[in-house]
C-alpha cells in the first residue's frame, strides 16, 4: 500500500523541515523526487541523503518569481504529484505588520503556491491526472495571536485548494490541503532563537504545551499524512483540509 513507484513528485521547500520529511518518505515509497528550494545548499544535502536509497534531484528556484517556476517545472517534464510546501512565517498584528513584511509573506506563501499551480496544472491536464497537496496551517482555521500576515497567507492556501479541487476535478486532478499545528523543525528552533533569545526554554515549553497532546508534532508524522493523501489509496479524496494538530482546534478549551 501507499506505493509511489515510478511517480514524479515535486516538493517545494523540500530541503528542510516538513518538506524534507515528505521528500524522504516519498522517495522511500518509490517516487522520483524533485526538490524545489531557494536554498540550493540545503536542497543538495537532502538530495544527497535521498540518493543513498532512492532518486532525487534539486532545483534552485524562487517560487515567488513566475518565470523561474515555469522554466524549472517545464524542465522536469512529467509531474504526478505537487506538494506546495514552501513558506515563511511572520509575527505581528494588523496594526504592527509593516507593508514590506506583509508583501513578502504574500509573495512567498500565496503567490509562490499560485505560481507552482499555474505551472503544474496544464501539465497534469495534458497527462489527464495528478495530485496536489498544499500546506496550509491551523492558522487558516482558527485565530492565532500575532500571526496576522501568516494567517492571511494560509487562509489563502486553504481557499485556493478548494478552488483547484473544484475546477480541475473533470481533469482527474485531486487537490487537498493539510493544516499542521506546531511541528518541531530546525525552523522552529531558529524562530525561537531569533525572537526569544532570553527565554528559549520557556518559549519552547509553552509552544509545545499549546497542543492538548502536550508536544509539538514531528515532521515524519506530517509526511505520513501527506503520503496517504498523495497515494492512489486516497483516490476518493479531494477538496478537503486535514488538520494535524495534536487536538489544537477541537480540544484547546
β-sheet bridge partners, residue 175: 132
Per-residue exposure over 220-248, b if at least 16 CB sit within 10 Å of its own CB, e if not: ebbbbbbbebbbeebeeebeebbbbbbeb
Residue 42 CB neighbour total at 10 angstroms = 20
Q: Helix H segments across 83-242? A: 99-105, 112-127, 148-167, 186-195, 200-209, 219-230
Residue 203 CB neighbour total at 10 angstroms = 17
> For residue 12, what is its C-alpha cell?
517545494
Cα Rg of the chain (Å, integer): 17
59 is catalytic: no
Sign of CA dihedral 33, 57, 23, 167: negative
Contact 110, 157 (CB under 8 A): yes
* Residue keyed to cell 506546495: 84
Distance CA 10, CA 69 (A): 12
The single residue of 150, 168, 196, 228 carrying the catalytic annotation is: 150
Residue 251 CB neighbour total at 10 angstroms = 11
Distance CA 120, CA 100 (A): 29
Contact 120, 73 (CB under 8 A): yes
> Which residues does the annotation mark as catalytic?
150
Amino acid at each position: 500500500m501507499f506505493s509511489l513507484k515510478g511517480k514524479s513528485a515535486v516538493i517545494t521547500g523540500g530541503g528542510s523541515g516538513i518538506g524534507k520529511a515528505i521528500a524522504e518518505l516519498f522517495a522511500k515509497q518509490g517516487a522520483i523526487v524533485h526538490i524545489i528550494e531557494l536554498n540550493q545548499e540545503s536542497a543538495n544535502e537532502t538530495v544527497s541523503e535521498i540518493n543513498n536509497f532512492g532518486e532525487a534531484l534539486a532545483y534552485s528556484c524562487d517560487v515567488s518569481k513566475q518565470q523561474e517556476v515555469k522554466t524549472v517545472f517545464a524542465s522536469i517534464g512529467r509531474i504526478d504529484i505537487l506538494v506546495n510546501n514552501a513558506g515563511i512565517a511572520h509575527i505581528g498584528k494588523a496594526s504592527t505588520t509593516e507593508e514590506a513584511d506583509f508583501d513578502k509573506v504574500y509573495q512567498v506563501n500565496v503567490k509562490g503556491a499560485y505560481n507552482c499551480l499555474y505551472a503544474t496544472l496544464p501539465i497534469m491536464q495534458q497527462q489527464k491526472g495528478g495530485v496536489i497537496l498544499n500546506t496550509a496551517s491551523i492558522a487558516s482555521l482558527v485565530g492565532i495571536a500575532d500571526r496576522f500576515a501568516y494567517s492571511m497567507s494560509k487562509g489563502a492556501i486553504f481557499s485556493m485548494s478548494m478552488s483547484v479541487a473544484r475546477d480541475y476535478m473533470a481533469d482527474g486532478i485531486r487537490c487537498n490541503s493539510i493544516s499542521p499545528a506546531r511541528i518541531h523543525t530546525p525552523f522552529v528552533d531558529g524562530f525561537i532563537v531569533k525572537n526569544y533569545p532570553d527565554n528559549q526554554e520557556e518559549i519552547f515549553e509553552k509552544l509545545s504545551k499549546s497542543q492538548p497532546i502536550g508536544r509539538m508534532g514531528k515532521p515524519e508524522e506530517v509526511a505520513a499524512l501527506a503520503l496517504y493523501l498523495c497515494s492512489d489509496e486516497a483516490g476518493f479524496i479531494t477538496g478537503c483540509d486535514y488538520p494535524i494538530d495534536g487536538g489544537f482546534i477541537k480540544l484547546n478549551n
